[in-house]
Structure 1
Amino acid sequence: MPPMIAPHELKDKVFSRAVRGYNPAEVEEYVDFLLEKYTELYKENASNVQKLNVITAKYDSLASDEESIRTAILKAQKLSEVMVDTARKQADTMLNEAKARVDSLVKEATERVETETTNLETVRSAAKQFRDQICNSYVKHLEFLKSVKIGTLESLLEDMPEPSDIEKAATVGVAASMPDAEEEQKREIALLTDQLDSEE
C-alpha cells in the first residue's frame, strides 16, 4: 500500500493561474475543506497503522509463546509417559516380589504343617503301640496271677517271669514320674493275691 500524502504537502501545493479558470476564492475554500477532512483521515490512518503494528507485535509474541507452550506440552507429555511407564514397571516389580514372597511363605508353612502332621502321626502311632503293649502285658500278668494258686506274696514274686525290655522301660518311666509307683504296685498285687486266696 503506497504511503498517504502528508497534509502539509497538499497545503503547500501551488497551482499556476490561467486566464479562463475557476474562481480562486472558491477553489481555495474547497481545498481548505478537503485539507481538513484529509488531515482527519491521515491522523486516523496513522493511528490505525500504529495499532496494527502493536497488534502485529502482540501476534508475533503470542505466536512465539504458542510455540513455546506447544513445545512445553510435548515435553510434559513425554515426561509423563516416561513417569507412568517407570511407575508401572516399579509396581510390576514390587507385585512380583510380593507374590514370590507370599508363595515362599505359603510353601514354607505348608511344608512345616506337613512335617508337624507327620511327626504327630508318628508320636500317636508310637503312643498307641506303647499303650497296647502295656495293656497286653498287664492282661498277661493278671491272667498269670489268676492261674497261680499261692498264698503268699513272696512265692508269687519268685514265680513271676522276667519282664521284657518294654516293661522295664515302662517301669523306669513310671518310677521316675511317680516315686510311690512301686509301693502302689505291691499293694495292688497283695490285694489281688488276697482276692485269689479268698476265692480258693
Structure 2
Amino acid sequence: MPLTPLDIHNKEFTRAFRGYDEDEVNEFLDQVIKDYEAVLREKKDLFEQVTALDEKLSHFTNIEETLNKSILVAQEAADDLRSNAQKEAQLIVKEAEKNANRIVNEALSKSRKVMMEMEELKKQASVYKMRFKMLIEAQMEMLQTEDWEQFAGNEDFDEEELLKEQEEQENV
C-alpha cells in the first residue's frame, strides 16, 4: 500500500544516542511531504485527464462506427438505386421496343391495306374505262346506223324516243 503524506508526517523515528539532527530530519520530511503531495495531485490530475481522454476517445470511436455504418448504408442504398435504375432503364427500353414493333406492324398493315385498296381502285377504274369505251362505241355505232340518218333529215324527231332506244341498246 502506497504512503500518504499523512503517513510521512506522522512517522516517528526511534531515538538513538548519536542519531540524526531532529530539526534537519523534520525539515527534510516536510519537503518530502510537499513533493509527495504535489506528485499525488499531479497523478490525480493526469488520471482525470486520461479518464476524460478515454471518454472522448470512446465518443469519437462511437462517431467513427456510426459514420462507417452510415457509409455502408449509403453505399448499399446507392447500389440498390443504381440496380433499380438499370432495371427500370431495361424495362423502358423493352417497352420502347414493343411500342416500336407495334407501330411498325401497324404501319405495315396499313400499307398493305392501302395497297389492296389501290389495286381494287385500279380494277374499278379499268372496268369503268372498259364500260365507258363500250358506251362510246355503242353510241358511235348508233350514229352510223340508218335510224340516225332518218332523224338527221327529219327535224321533227321525238327526243324521248331516242332516249328509249339508247336505253334499250345499253341494256342489251
Identity %: 21
Higher mean alpha-carbon deviation, 26-35 vs 67-76, is at 67-76
Residue matched to 2:170: 163
Match of 2:149 in 1: 150
Count of residue correspondences = 163
Structure 2 unaligned residues grouped into runs of 5+: none
1:134 to 2:141 alignment: no
1:176 matched residue in structure 2: none
For 2:55, give the aligned amino acid.
A
Mapped to 1, the partners of 2:69 and 2:137 lie a distance apart of 100
4+ residue runs over 6 A deviation? 158-161
What's the C-alpha RMSD, in Å, of the aligned pairs?
3.2
Map 1:172-187 → 2, pairs under 5 A: none
Q: Please name the residue that 1:122 is paired with.
A: 120
**Measured at CA, do residues 5 and 50 of structure 1 come closer, stay the same or move farther in structure 2, by a change above 3 Å?**
farther
Cα distance in 2 for partners of 1:27, 1:5 equals 18
Can you list the C-alpha shifts for 1:134-179, whole angstroms capped at 9, x where unaligned?
A: 13531452355246571316699598782267xxxxxxxxxxxxxx
Amino acid across the alignment from 1:131:
K
| Cα pair distance change 1:11/1:5, threshold 3 Å | same
> What TM-score does the superposition give when structure 1 sets the normalisation length?
0.64
Which shows bigger deviation, 122-131 or 62-71? 62-71
Of 54-63 and 65-74, the range deviating more from structure 2: 65-74
Preserved contact between residue 7 and residue 38 of structure 1 (Cα < 8 Å): yes
Alpha-carbon distance in structure 1 between the residues aligned to 2:17 and 2:45: 43
- Identify which of structures 1 and 2 has the higher relative contact order when contacts are C-alpha pairs closer than 8 Å and 6+ apart: 1
Contact 1:4–1:42 (CA under 8 A) maintained in structure 2: no
